[in-house]
Structure 1
């Protein structure tokens, strides 16, 4: 099944739809969301992307990052992907949004108007292994050190969004 992203301008006005991979090839601005989940110790949940993903395979990233469907709110899209990727439900709070552009290799770009949500979750997962290889929690201090030591292990957009998150909190 082909997936489409919602193309927008910088004011989030819808310009149309485009097949997801084509939008990433063209580097066109589209809607996206990112979810940061924390456990009761304040550690951040990371997911390792499945090795079959068409870009950024087997790299660590935030709990969930994806695109709302046409007519779907950012929040509903984020909750849908939590269920589809991690097999969980939890309450989310919108924290901020911003625009970024990142070269993700292979001639592909992430150019997104990204809405960032946070939530807490400390129970079990039911991973969709077509999407996620594994998950783990990590302290922010250890995460900063690991990104500094091994930046290639993390998705380009996660590094950008994490810095933006730190500036907003």
Structure 2
């Protein structure tokens, strides 16, 4: 059994593990580490967004994708995604790895993100959403078009990784949707 850990998995540009580091230390200096992001859509193709809790150590109160986090050392990324989706949003639905990307961002509080991000996509039906209030302040469903329109005038309301990932998710969906 994989044990909960405050450490993240440090990786190289090919996502090969090269060590571990305490999560906050990895965010205080930009060390590339493994992460995942989950994007769930309903039958109307609206994305389930969450507003991060106001107590989060960075990007507090900002809107973002359904769920994101880091796998524990030794934990397969797909297992971590399923685990964290249940912990954070109270949802258990199948998700599939769609693609990955690497990004860097810095924040006003001196923290950094430098992540090799595995992106998972899934469909949410009538599942009950029961977010953990320590993680999630609110949630909503929006179409990609609605999100893009809002980001055009209010980009400051969204997390940095979401601004990078959203066009990649839209491109992936377009390329993998039957005509």
2:169 is aligned with 1:165: yes
Q: Could you tell me which runs of 5 or more consecutive residues in structure 1 were left unpaired when the two chains were aligned.
A: none
Q: Offset of 1:104 from its aligned partner?
A: 2.9
Q: Distance in 2 between matches of 1:157 and 1:105?
A: 15
Aligned partner of 1:133 among 137, 143, 151: 137
Q: Distance in 1 between matches of 2:14 and 2:144?
A: 32
The 5 A counterparts of 1:114-129 are: 114-122=117-125, 123-129=127-133
Residues 28-50 of structure 1, C-alpha deviations (whole Å, 9 max, x = no match): 10000000000111000100000
Q: CA RMSD in A?
A: 1.3
2:81 is aligned with 1:106: no
Q: Offset of 1:55 from its aligned partner?
A: 0.5
Corresponding pairs, count:
169
Q: Distance in 2 between matches of 1:140 and 1:62?
A: 11
Q: Distance in 2 between matches of 1:44 and 1:141?
A: 10
Determine helix, strand or coil for the equivalent of 1:150. Answer: helix
Equivalence for 1:33: 36
Q: Offset of 1:86 from its aligned partner?
A: 0.6
Runs of at least 4 residues off by over 4 Å:
none
